[in-house]
Every structure is written in structure tokens, then in C-alpha cells.
Structure 1
Amino acid sequence: MVAQHYADNPELAVWLDRLWLHDVFRAPWFAAIHLLLVEGNGFAVSRTLLYTSPAIVRSGSS
């Protein structure tokens, strides 16, 4: 499919290749976005557990 794209649009294909759009999962920009999303979710989950666990302990101990 990429070879056909090169044959049909050689100038555009060169630019898409420079931006790693033919191989997205190996692209540095994809890795950065993925890392930010994973780290953001890890942060949100850990903070949610941190701030809700004292409330659960207090309400369960009385």
C-alpha cells in the first residue's frame, strides 16, 4: 500500500515519510503521545486512590 502511494504521489509520499506517517507505531511523536497518555492515567488513578482512601478508612472504622 505504501509502495502504491509512492507510485501515485511521489512528492507527497516523501513528506509523509519524513513525518513518519507511513510507520506510525515506530514514530517518535507517537511514542511521546503514548507515554503522556499512560503517565497521565497513572497519575490520575494514583491521586484518586490517594485522596479517596482516607475517606474510605474513616467511614469504615466508625
Structure 2
Amino acid sequence: MSTGDRAESKAGNKAEELRGKAKEAVGKATGDRNLEAQGRNDQTRSNLKQAVQKVKDAFRKRR
């Protein structure tokens, strides 16, 4: 994976996190518990992807 690909992946993960926050906020505002839960799920998935990416980056720097 090239540096550009990693940057796109990181940007995509951050975008997913922000979409999750928006879904959660809209769900709270409208009382839609399902949408709120989807938003939290999107955020969690994004955070896990970001954590994996950080670990990969740490190992790449060691080489």
C-alpha cells in the first residue's frame, strides 16, 4: 500500500467517523434510537480501523 493509499484510507476512516457522529446526533434529535445506534456503530468501526492503521504505521516506521 503506497503512502497515497494510506492517506486515502485514513481520510475515509475519518469521514466514516464523522458520518457516524452525524447519524447519532440526528437520531438523538429525532428520537430514532435505531439511527442513533447505527451512528455509534459507524464510529466504533471507524475507530477500530484507525487503531489498526496506527499499528501498521508503527511497524512500517520500525523497518
> Structure with the greater relative contact order (CA < 8 A, sep ≥ 6): 1 or 2?
2
Larger proportion of helix:
2
Which of the two has higher C-alpha Rg? 1
Band of TM-score, shorter chain:
0.3 to 0.5
Normalising to structure 1: TM-score of the pair? Answer: 0.46
